[in-house]
Amino acid sequence: MPKRQKEKQYQSAREHRANQSLRSGSGSLHSNITRPLPFDCCALTLTPYTTPVCTSDGIIFDNAAIISHLMKHKADPVTGRAMTSRCVITLNMDRDESTGQWQCPVLNKPFTNRSKVIAIRQRPPGNEANVISYEAYHELNLKAKSNLDLISGKKFTKDDVITLQDPDNKAHCKLRDIQNFSHMRSLREENSRQQSAAGSSNVKHSVTASRIMEKLEREKRKRERAAEDQAKRVLKTDNDAGITSSKAKEQVSIYTDELLLSMNLTSGKASGSLTSTTMNITRENKARLATQEEIITSQCEQLKRLKKKGMVRMFTNQGAMDIELHCDIVPRTAMNFLLLVEKGEYDGSKFHRSIPNFMIQGGKKRGSTGSDGGSSIWGKPFADEFDDRLTHAGSGIVSMANSGPTTNGRQFFITYKSCAHLNRKHSVFGKVVGGMEILSKMEEIPTDERTDRPLDTIKIESMEILDNPVTECL
C-alpha cells in the first residue's frame, strides 16, 4: 500500500507569489476576482435588509437606507446615474418564519446566493413588485403561456419582469459586483486621499489605553453637548428664540453609543482596514454619528420602556372628544400623531370621508387636494406597527389610514363599529375615551353617495395635548 502523505504545512514560492498578488490587488488575477452582493444584503449598507426595495435594474436596497441616500445625493449609489425616490420599487417578499430566510411564496423554496430570482411589477400602481423564483415563473407562466401574476392574479408583460439575481447572466453579475458600485469607488478614493495625507502618523494603543481614550472622547462630547444646551437656554431670551433654538437643535451631533439600542454601531473603519487594502489602517472602533432612523428607533424604545399613555382632547365643530394614545405599545405611530398635534398640523382640517356603520376619516393637510393628504412628521412614510392587544373592536378605535403596507402618513380614522377585517392592515394607536356621543352625532350626518363626503362640514378646530410622554424621550 502506498504510504499516506502528511498535509503540507507550508506554502511554495509559487503559491506565496499568487496570494501576495491577491492581497495587494495587483497582477492579472485581480481582473478575474469578483465580490458578488449576497442576495439578502442591501447594496448600499452591505448588511441584511428588512424592508426590501429595488430599482428597475434589479439591485436590492433597504428602504430606509436608499431613501435617506436619495434625499441627500439624488443619485443611484450603484450606477451613479441620477435617481429619485419615485424610481424605487417596493418588493413584496415572503419570509420563512422559522428560519428567517427569504423564500419563493409559490414553491416555498428559500432563496440562496445561487438562486435565479425575479420580481413581477404590479400595474397599477407600478411601484410594487411580487418576488418569486424563476423556476416558478418558467413552469407556471412561460410554459403555460400565462401572463397572470401567480400571487396577485394581475396581468403583466415581459417588460414588467425584473431580474433580481441570475448567476448565469454575466452582465447582471457585473452590475451586482460590489467592486463596481459607485459609492464603494468613492469610498476607496476618499480613503486613499486620507491615507496619503495621514502618512504613517497612526499610533497603536494598548487595549487599556484605547478604552481610556474612548471614555475621554465620550466625556468631551458630553461637555460639548452641555455647552450647546446652555447656549440654547441663553438664546431663548431673544426675540428670535424659536428660530435660533431650532437651528441649534439641528446642529447637535448624536453618536450611536449615546442611543438606547440593542447593538453596538461603530464607524466600521477598524474592520474595514483589516480586510481592505484601500482603507487607512485604524485600530480603534469609534462610535459613528447616528442616522435619523436610529435616533427615532432609540426614542421609540425609550417610549416603550416608560409604559405611559398619551392623552389628546380634540375640539371639533360638533363637540370635544378625548383620545387615549397607546404610546407604550405603538410608540412610532403615537409619536407621529403627538408631534403633528404639537405643531398644530391638524387644526382646521376636515373629516373628508364618513361611512355609517364603518368609520370616519380625517387628518388631511389643509389645502391639499386629491390623494395628496400630507406626510408624516418626518416627511416620509413609516412602517406599520401591529400588536394583538390592539384590534379594531368596537366603536371609537383610532387607527392610521394608509394605501398599503408601510405607507403611513398623517391621516387617521375613527371606527363607528367593530372592523375585524382591518386588523394587521391598519395600525391602531388610540381610542376615544370621552365624547362618544359626539362620534354618534358625526355618524348621523348625511353624506354624498358617490364620494362619502359629509354634506355638512365636520372640522377639527383645534387639539390640546393633556398628557405627552414623548417629551421625556426627545
317-335: pLDDT as tens digits: 999 999 999 999 999 999 9
Q: Which residues of the chain are modeled with pLDDT < 70?
A: 1-8, 18-33, 195-205, 234-253, 255-258, 260-267, 273, 277, 279, 283-284, 369-373, 474
**Which pLDDT score is estimated for 258?**
65
Backbone Cα Rg of the chain: 28
C-alpha cell read off for 326: 397607546
Angle made by CA atoms 355, 466, 389, in degrees to the nearest 5:
55
**19-36 residues labelled b (16+ CB within 10 A) or e (exposed):** eeeeeeeeeeeeeeeeee
**Which pLDDT score is estimated for 249?**
43
C-alpha cell read off for 32: 478575474
CA distances from residue 299 to 241, 332, 395, 465 in whole angstroms, order as listed: 25, 9, 30, 19
C-alpha cell read off for 166: 441570475
In terms of C-beta density within 10 A (0-12 exposed, 13-18 middle, 19 or more buried), how is residue 251 classed? exposed
Helical spans, DSSP H, in 62-200: 63-73, 134-137, 170-175, 182-198
Strand 117-122 and strand 94-95: pairing?
Answer: unpaired
What residues pair up with 315 in beta bridges, in sequence order? Answer: 320, 462
Phi, psi at 161, each rounded to 5°:
-90, 120
**Which pLDDT score is estimated for 267?**
67
228 alpha carbon, distance to own chain's centre = 30
**Which pLDDT score is estimated for 164?**
94
- 182: helix, coil or strand? helix
Cβ atoms within 10 Å, residue 417: 15
**Which active-site residues does the annotation give?**
353, 358, 361, 402, 413, 422, 426
**Which pLDDT score is estimated for 11?**
76
Angle between helices 207-235 and 241-251 (to 10 degrees): 170
Which amino acid appears at position 364 of this protein?
K
**Which pLDDT score is estimated for 220?**
82
